[in-house]
Amino acid sequence: MKHLLVIIALVAGLIKDDAPAGLYACKNVRITLYSSAPLEDIEAESNAGKSVFNPATGELAFNVAIRSFKFPKSLMQEHFNENYMESDKYPQASFRGKINEKIDVNANGSFPVTVSGVLDVHGVKQNRTVKGTVNVNNGSVSMSSEFMVRCADHNIEIPKLVFKKIAETIKMTVSATYSPLNNQAK
Amino acid sequence: MKKAFLFFVLILTLGIARAQTDTTATDSAMNMLNEGEKEESVIATFKASRLIYSQTTETVKKNNLNFLVIHRFGDIGGSDGGSSTLWGLDNSSDIYIGFEYGISDKLDVQFGRSKFEQMLELGLKYAILKQTADNSKPFALTVAGKMGLKPYKVTTEVFDDYTNRLSYMAQAIIARKFSSRFSLQISPTFIRNNLPFPFIEGNEQQFFALSAAARYKFTKRMGIVVDYSHPFSSFRQNSNSPKFYDPLAVGIEIETGGHVFTIDFANAKAISELNYLSDTESSWGKGQFRFGFTISRMFSFGPNKRNKDKSNY
């Protein structure tokens, strides 16, 4: 195990050294979730998502700590973590994928895109293709997307007792403004 | 054969290494971004601010109001129990109605009234330490203090001096969530009754007690709770008439969104610490235990743009 860690560290170190220039990153991705049910609308927000975008390959990665989602009611927040997302077992949700269209970060404009990859929520991976928009404005890159996540797809159980309060499908929005990674170092 | 195998392994390893380098440019950048994330505190050590008798380390969060109704029925067995009282359901040993309001996420103020001794009580509870996931803080620490007032003539005629009506409690609650299922807490407690309670010659005005309580969840929303206390009081230890017993209770805790219900069996008649630590004269062994329940309902009064016309959570 120790050896494995050393090897991983070495590999990671090597990669870091020849990480291609031109990676874009965002440390404060805004992610919201919205559940609309007969008895109650529930909305939560995190501004602590992380994202990395590689314009050369189109690779796109997102990570967010489940605990960073803030709810208007503290009890909801506790139940979200404790009963639904089990954030002690699955502390992060992530997405790893590729933008299917080629994005030129030197050309200003707004481009509709589709992104295909793996969405990992509550420890369950799902292949997803979602629509989004990429905005390029004088070297600054921003992205936004809206998509639905079915609780059942990720083994998130909603007890019958509260099904009128929590929707089976949750609307997610993601928005990120990127800057070149090297400028962010330290 | 062996060589071929080694060669195969080598090729495979190279292949994997290659495959990794294809994707990890983004991943390593991601790891860099995630570095130095602050360690998360452990939440929901307990579902409610009370187990059966004991207060837990949980405080009511800012702008939330917890409404408590706690009930203890009469003795199930023994001379006061049996079918003539429907196993105690005809009687109520104690009824407690309480409110706990969160001033901040760490501090709440509590007010309650017991049938037992008709006691009014006012208290504060403050969460000092939170357990952290990395065990740099292996447990949570909360302190609680309360003052009880017996406004009416109760078991004694000797409330000549008004201060004799007052009792105090100071408590440190130390809890650890061992897993998402199992949490344990111990709480050293100091009790002071200005007039010794019960008012019997030789009884102490003040004494220490130690409580231990635990929860084991068998589903996400249901668990078994156990609660035990021992007062360190030589008077209570040695007294034969009345005889004193250690409070012990077992129950089932059920959470349904905004409510937490506890259904329990307990030997102590009283609900407030000031009463049950001072005066538990009923024994499990003699059938002097009772059915009881706790309803804990959380209301949220925080700034809430939406949900105006929809129900409270």
* Residue pLDDT, tens place only, B90-149: 999 999 999 999 999 999 999 999 999 899 999 999 999 999 988 999 999 999 999 999
- Give yes or no for residue A180 having a pLDDT over 50: yes
Residues of B in contact with A163 (CB under 8 A): none
Phi, psi dihedral angles at A160 (to 5 degrees): -55, -30
- Give yes or no for residue A55 having a pLDDT over 60: yes
Helix (H) or strand (E) holding B100: strand B92-102
Q: Cα separation of B226 and A154, whole Å?
A: 34
- Give yes or no for residue B310 having a pLDDT over 70: no
Closest Cα in chain B, distance from residue A93 (Å): 13
The reported pLDDT for the residue numbered B107 is 97
Q: Cα separation of B119 and B96, whole Å?
A: 9
pTM (two decimals): 0.83
Task: Give the Å distances, CA to CA, from A32 to A46, A47, A173, B217, B277.
Answer: 6, 9, 5, 30, 48
At residue B188, the 3 state secondary structure works out as: strand
Closest chain B residue to A38, measured at CA? B310
The reported pLDDT for the residue numbered A7 is 55
Domain ranges of chain A: 22-184
Q: Cβ(B271)–Cβ(B114) under 8 Å?
A: yes
Q: Out of B32, B61, B307, name the one closest to residue A41 (CB).
A: B307
Architecture of domain A22-184: Beta Barrel (2.40)
The residue assigned the tokens 């959380």 is B298
User: Do B30 and A52 count as a contact with CB atoms less than 8 A apart?
Assistant: yes
Q: What is the pLDDT of residues A102-135, one digit of tens each?
A: 988 888 999 999 999 999 999 999 999 999 999 9
Q: Out of B24, B29, B221, name the one closest to residue A181 (CB).
A: B29
Q: What is the pLDDT of residues B191-230, one digit of tens each?
A: 999 989 898 889 999 999 999 999 999 999 999 999 999 9
For A115-119, B11-15, B132-136, B291-295, which range has the lowest pLDDT when averaged over its residues? B11-15
DSSP-assigned letters across all residues of B44-75: -SSSSSBSSSSB-S--PPBTEEEEEEEEEEEE
Percent of chain B with pLDDT over 90: 71
Cis preceding-peptide flag for B138 (omega within 30 of 0): no
Q: What is the pLDDT of residues B230-272, one digit of tens each?
A: 999 999 999 998 999 999 999 999 998 889 999 999 999 999 9
Per-residue DSSP letter, A78 = H
Cis preceding-peptide flag for B242 (omega within 30 of 0): yes
Top-tier CATH class for B64-300: mainly beta
- Give yes or no for residue A19 having a pLDDT over 70: no
Tokens at residue B248, please? Answer: 């012990």
At residue B229, the 3 state secondary structure works out as: strand
Range A89-110 average pLDDT? 92
Per-residue DSSP letter, B85 = G
Residues of A in contact with B44 (CB under 8 A): 78, 81-82
- The residue that leads in pLDDT, A63 or A6, is A63
- Give yes or no for residue A146 having a pLDDT over 60: yes
At residue B310, the 3 state secondary structure works out as: coil
- Give yes or no for residue B20 having a pLDDT over 60: no
What is the value of ipTM here, to two decimals?
Answer: 0.81
Q: Cα separation of B49 and B96, whole Å?
A: 14
User: Do A11 and B42 count as a contact with CB atoms less than 8 A apart?
Assistant: no
Task: List the beta bridge partners of residue B193.
Answer: B167
- Give yes or no for residue B75 having a pLDDT over 80: yes
- Give yes or no for residue A2 having a pLDDT over 70: no
The reported pLDDT for the residue numbered B113 is 97
The reported pLDDT for the residue numbered B257 is 81
Domain ranges of chain B: 64-300
Closest Cα in chain B, distance from residue A103 (Å): 16
